[in-house]
Structure 1
Amino acid sequence: MRNPLSVALNATILRAPRTGIGQYVASLASALAAQQLVQPQLFTGLGWQQSVPEAAMPGYSQLSRLVKSVVPKAYQVRRAVEQRLFTQGVERLQPALYHEPSLWPFEFEGPMLMTLHDLTHVHYPQTQPADRLAEIARCVEPALDRARVILTDSQFVADELQRHYGVARERLKVAPLGYAQRFHPRPLADLGRVTAPLGVTPGSYLLCVGTLEPRKNLALALRAYALLPEAVRRRYPLLIAGMAGWRRDDFAAELQAALASGQVRLLGYLDDERLAELLAGARMLLFPSLYEGFGLPVLEAMASGVPVLLSPSSALPEVAGKAGTYVEAGDPEGWCRAILRLIEDQAEWQARRVAGLEQAQGFSWKRCAGITAAAYRQALEH
């Protein structure tokens, strides 16, 4: 067997608690290494390693906020230090190419490939902090020009890149995401360990998963839930799992009112296994997001045997296919009716469950890694 291709992969995001892009980096790196055609060299921001870190850096989020509050131009300072460490590692390891999984690639003299997950900064700039938008405006177009190949999670985003940035089709490669093996159907009787401390019953709660920010449209889920009959809300509490994000104050009043009712519970960020167990016990996943480049929780819910209620926006229909129950993102009454149907109509619930399990079989990290490895070869041949 030939020696695995050495690839520098920016894994600095793995210092933080893992959400979408963090899960992507960790899962892709593991799948690439398992296929033994690629050896990812992971740059963690502090050094280099070949194995994926098991968990985020303890206290990283608090430390990051503290540094930003006391160090002028903290991002630029950190970036300069990381660039130096990155360059030193590249000189030592001599990777064949560099894969940037986000919008800000480091300086690198060899072939560079990047993944662009979505164009949130284009369509919903109001959901991004001003300093982040400024950095995106400075970096993203030069990065797209530098990249020999650009990976996307969906055809939807690939088409957007062609329209908005004029990227040639031959430089784009769609590599749909996968789901971890921890997402699978589980007997409800086995889930009491995770549900009992929350005061809920397996199979008798609704779940929202995602960072608390305006783009995720949590306010719609809250409005739709509030329209349900009181008896239904008592039987099916709404659990919300996710980190606090940008502009959470935009819907803070609605969220606080819902929490005060006792029928809506805010769980914060959950570790991987706890989230997988909680998802498997949900009656359904509510995913009213306004815009997604993929929508990983949708795939994870389907793989867990949980029906998904979602908006027919952006890349979401590519992921859920015919298994999803779609209602427009601005229609709380429609969402309320759809929720009730998936609660009251057991045949419909079962049909959506089976369809979701079938739909999920078309996605895997092994497939994503195979497409990505082919993109590496394309970049080297350019």
Structure 2
Amino acid sequence: MKLVLSVEALSPSLTGIGRYTWELAQRLPEHAHLRDVQFYRGGRWVDEPASLLQAAVPKAAAAKVKPSFRFKQPRWLREWRTSAACRGRVFHGPNFFLPACAEAGVATVHDLSVFKYPETHPLERIKHFEREFTNSMARAAHLVTDSEATRLEVMNFLAWPADKITAVPLGVSSQFAPASEDALVTCLAKYGLTFKRYALCVSTLEPRKKIANLLQAYERLPRQVREQYPLVLVGGAGWLSEALHQKIDRLAAQGWLRYLGFVPEADLPALYAGAQAFVYPSIYEGFGLPVLEAMASGVPVVASMFTSLPEVTQGAALLVDPDDIDALTQGIHKSICDEPWRETAFKAGLAIAHSYTWSRCVDRTVDVYKKVMR
């Protein structure tokens, strides 16, 4: 079976969808049922997806490299060759959309937040979905979602038949695992952190993640707890977050909040494993990969009680309404200070996280490809 995988989501700073795409790009070429996997991005073929994870070369440095002469094909010829190369293959768009050259294929719909919570997205993203999403859905032969909760939501929203949508849970890398203080001290020192002396949240700063609520809840913790266990935020600056960044700056000046922004992928496992607790108050998630990574790292989790998160955590996390600030505060305090509960959450989280593997995700994704080919 031949496959084309779109790698539009790959960039030096991987989001959750980027990480999903990267795992597929690494593993699909090695799968026993695939004999030819090609990668596609922005109208061009990509030989090495790993190159998309590298930072762009500065213009000054790029100017010193003498480009080799290459005949520029007419647009109609490029489009015809691209379309011809796609025929006879399954085309998978792992980031919502199918490119124009794909007459049919598989699309992964991670969530419907842009339709359910348009006020939490930038205008450009909303317009992009308005232009492209309906067209992609019209050409998709099958849809993949990250969770059963999202599958049911997509089925109802799009009025698609149940047998045309498959829930394929994501996986978690073996790099996310409990670790000793000695193993983490060097990495944590880079960020001025102490082993098991901070709470962690890994999330893009966008409105539906409810980071403002997290800050409000953390501010209500006893002063001694905040000082002993500062809150560490990791993730991109996001959008519609100007007021939130101002609040972060103000609270960081008090000494109990640290905003690290994006950190290298290689450092994330250490930041997870070194945390005392992990908090993820997002109001809406298609899966919630950071929660799974925290559980795999042996870290007690407080998460939102909505959408896919109860399904993913399977009873191992403390679930709260992120709009209930008192409940969120109590949950955070419990995750940091209640040792009997922490031990229970540690064991349950590890057991559940071990059931999510990228190999299983890939196998089930290939099963969808087979179904489409038949």
Q: TM-score, normalised by structure 2?
A: 0.90
Residue in 2 that maps onto 1:75:
none
Amino acid at match of 2:303: L
User: Deviations 1:274-299 (Å, cap 9, x if unpaired)?
Assistant: 01111111011110001000000011
Q: Residue 271 of structure 2 aligns to a residue in which SS?
A: helix
2: CA distance, partners of 1:380 / 1:14: 26
Q: Which stretches in structure 1 are left out of the alignment for 5+ residues? A: 64-80
2: CA distance, partners of 1:85 / 1:120: 35
Amino acid at match of 1:204: R
> Percent same amino acid at aligned positions?
32
Q: Residue 346 of structure 2 aligns to a residue in which SS?
A: helix
> Which of residues 88, 94, 99 in structure 2 aligns to 1:101?
94
Q: 1:310 to 1:205 in 2, by over 3 A?
A: same
> Which of residues 289, 311, 321 in structure 2 aligns to 1:318?
311
> Does 2:158 align with 1:165?
yes
**Following superposition of structure 1 onto structure 2, how do residues 251-330 of structure 1 map, counting pairs within 5 Å?**
251-330=244-323
The answer to which of 222-231 and 30-39 deviates more is 30-39
Amino acid at match of 2:132: C
Residue in 2 that maps onto 1:234:
227
1: CA distance, partners of 2:75 / 2:5: 13
* Displacement of 1:41: 1.1
Residue in 2 that maps onto 1:334:
327
Q: TM-score, normalised by structure 1?
A: 0.88
Is the CA contact 1:46–1:82 (under 8 Å) kept in the aligned structure 2? no
2: CA distance, partners of 1:250 / 1:123: 23
Q: Residue 238 of structure 2 aligns to a residue in which SS?
A: coil
> Which of residues 6, 9, 22 in structure 2 aligns to 1:10?
6
* Displacement of 1:216: 0.9
Q: Residue 113 of structure 1 aligns to a residue in which SS?
A: strand
Is the CA contact 2:83–2:102 (under 8 Å) kept in the aligned structure 1? no
Residue in 2 that maps onto 1:36:
32
> Does 2:108 align with 1:122?
no
User: Deviations 1:132-166 (Å, cap 9, x if unpaired)?
Assistant: 21221222122212111100001111111121110
Residue in 1 that maps onto 2:17:
21
* Displacement of 1:248: 0.9
The answer to which of 87-96 and 158-167 deviates more is 87-96
Q: Residue 13 of structure 1 aligns to a residue in which SS?
A: coil
- CA RMSD, 1 decimal: 2.3
Is the CA contact 1:43–1:86 (under 8 Å) kept in the aligned structure 2? no
2: CA distance, partners of 1:223 / 1:59: 37
* Displacement of 1:331: 1.6
Is the CA contact 1:152–1:172 (under 8 Å) kept in the aligned structure 2? yes
Aligned pairs, number? 359
Is the CA contact 1:200–1:237 (under 8 Å) kept in the aligned structure 2? no
2: CA distance, partners of 1:7 / 1:262: 51
**Following superposition of structure 1 onto structure 2, how do residues 78-157 of structure 1 map, counting pairs within 5 Å?**
88-92=81-85, 96-157=89-150
2: CA distance, partners of 1:239 / 1:147: 40
* Displacement of 1:9: 0.8
* Displacement of 1:47: 4.1
Is the CA contact 2:198–2:230 (under 8 Å) kept in the aligned structure 1? yes
2: CA distance, partners of 1:339 / 1:186: 22
* Displacement of 1:57: 3.9
Amino acid at match of 1:360: A
Residue in 1 that maps onto 2:212:
219
Q: 1:294 to 1:6 in 2, by over 3 A?
A: same
* Displacement of 1:93: 7.0
1: CA distance, partners of 2:13 / 2:87: 29
Residue in 2 that maps onto 1:349:
342
